[in-house]
Amino acid sequence: MDRCAIIIHSVNGNNYIIASLMQEVLKKNGVDARLYRVEDEDLHIWANKSDAANDYYEDIAALPQISESTLEKSQMIILGSPTTFGNVSAEMKAFMDSTHPLLESETLSGKFFACFTSCTHSIGEGAFCIDNMVHFAQAHQMIHIPLGLHSSLAWSSQPVSGIVHLAGKDNSIRPSTQFGELVEHYSNMLSEYFEDPTQE
């Protein structure tokens, strides 16, 4: 079965919620989708300071930490990061930087790639974060699968390259049912890039 690694940095739980839904849809479509987290030594501190962070702290902490061997085994890599000043979080950036040795070996070349982010209040700021993750994928010669344009008014503000969730000032606005439909749509799109396991 083809494997997909969904790698997140989630502090307040929103990226974890999105990643979990993506995993559910991908698995339903026959993809071996697995959730991983990047290293965050301060996660417990945030959980003590914020109710939103505390809600999903145990679930996030229980995720396995991403490793180089997992990247090598995965046919698709999906990144989910908070938006910080229009960029990925420091923890996600540290993970991205750690893959630099794989550039020369072209280990990730040809793998499929997708991404999403959760930010406070600006789709535009989130789009910058998405662009940074896409640039990371392009440097590794991965094949980016964009969300694309949509005529639906509810989805029309989304960037072409990926998905942006707006969490509000306190990051306590959870993904809505309507947003979940967008995530499900994107996940079904991504599933189509895997061979149908029933056609063997």
**pLDDT bracket for residue 153 (50, 70, 90):** low
Cα three-residue angle 138-139-145, rounded to 5 degrees: 15
pLDDT tens, residue by residue, 70-86: 999 999 999 999 999 99
Strand partners, 84: 87
The alpha carbon of 94 is separated from its chain's Cα centroid by a whole number of angstroms, namely 15
Cα three-residue angle 58-59-65, rounded to 5 degrees: 100
Strand partners, 96: none
pLDDT tens, residue by residue, 90-128: 999 999 999 999 999 999 999 999 999 999 989 999 999
Burial class (CB in 10 A: 0-12, 13-18, 19+), 51: exposed
Domains of the chain, CATH where assigned: 3-191 (3.40.50.360)
| Average pLDDT over every residue of 180-190 | 95
pLDDT reading at 198 higher than 60: no
How far apart CA 70 and CA 48 sit, in angstroms, is 31
Strand partners, 88: 83
Q: Which residues contact 36 (CB under 8 A, 6 or more apart)?
A: 5, 6, 7, 8, 63, 64, 65, 66, 70
Residue 196: per-residue pLDDT: 60
**pLDDT bracket for residue 1 (50, 70, 90):** low
Cβ–Cβ contacts within 10 Å for residue 135, how many? 12
